[in-house]
Amino acid sequence: MAALLRIEQLVAGYGDARVLERIDLTLEEGRSLALLGRNGAGKTTLLDTIVGVTTYHSGAIFLGGKDVTRLRAEARAPLGISWVPQERNIFRSLTVGENLTVSARKGPWDVARVYAMFPRLQERRKNLGSQLSGGEQQMLAVGRALMLNGRLLLLDEPLEGLAPIIVDELLAALRRIVTDEGMSAIIVEQKARKVLPLTDDVVVLERGAVTHRGTSAELLAAPERLDEYLSV
């Protein structure tokens, strides 16, 4: 299977600060990856670097075989990156419907499909982003990312701070997106036992370097190793 994303010896960070140290990572088309690690391990920085909003020092990033290492963020997005950052970054002054369509691109995901996946959004389609609960805002952020119809979905802590019932709804949606429909995705999540059953592979970061890579099923079946990787 062809590599959708290939990262080679990547060194990146913020300004002069180097956070990522010689990262090697490959994600094949149609596979999903759980990106785990303790707080400060570099997980968000890696997603930010794939998007193109950090300081590049050395190494290379290829998306669909194209070298995007030195492309600015606005030039990478049209190549197929859909991003849900921790901050969600929805447009608070626009309605739910407007948020979904303002930057939509043609493809299999449209408003009807997003509403079918998140009925709460359809019920609140005329509400402003500022009028939504935190869970509804997260659903909207995921829906808006899907409307970009990209090839690679990046999710940064999608379950953070959400009520259990909303967590369950989002997990069901993510299972459909990455497991049933086979969308390529990288998911950063502190709730490792929630995300590992949804993903094919797992990479663990520690101090900006890869300390473990393998299948999600294998790590989920070794709880003592998982605790060792993630314990404070």
Q: Stretch 157-168: mean pLDDT, rounded?
A: 94
* Tokens describing residue 174: 């993510």
Q: Please state the domain extents for the chain.
A: 1-80+190-232
Crossing angle of the two packed helices 164-174 and 134-147, in degrees rounded to 10: 10
Q: Stretch 68-74: mean pLDDT, rounded?
A: 95
Query: Is the model's pLDDT at 16 over the cut of 70?
Result: yes
CB-based contacts of 120, cutoff 8 Å, min separation 6: 136, 139, 169
Given this model, what pLDDT does residue 231 score? 82
> What one-letter code names the amino acid at 196?
L
The residue with tokens 């950052």 is 85
Q: Stretch 197-217: mean pLDDT, rounded?
A: 97
Range list of H helices, the chain: 43-51, 73-76, 96-101, 111-117, 119-123, 134-147, 164-174, 192-195, 216-220, 223-230
Query: Is the model's pLDDT at 201 over the cut of 90?
Result: yes
CB-based contacts of 42, cutoff 8 Å, min separation 6: 19, 20, 205, 207, 208, 209
Give the count of beta carbons closer than 10 Å to the beta carbon of residue 168: 13
Please, what is the average pLDDT of the chain? 95
Given this model, what pLDDT does residue 1 score? 62
Instruction: Fold for 1-80+190-232, please state it.
Output: Rossmann fold (3.40.50)
C-alpha span between 23 and 81 (Å, rounded): 19
Q: Give pLDDT tens digits for 101-119.
A: 999 999 999 999 999 999 9
Q: Stretch 209-232: mean pLDDT, rounded?
A: 93
Query: Is the model's pLDDT at 45 over the cut of 80?
Result: yes
Q: Give pLDDT tens digits for 115-160.
A: 999 999 999 999 999 999 999 999 999 999 999 999 999 999 999 9
The pTM of the full predicted model, rounded to 2 decimals, is 0.95
Instruction: Give yes or no for a contact between 152 and 81, defined as CB atoms under 8 angstroms apart.
Output: yes
Question: Alpha-carbon Rg of the chain, whole angstroms?
Answer: 17
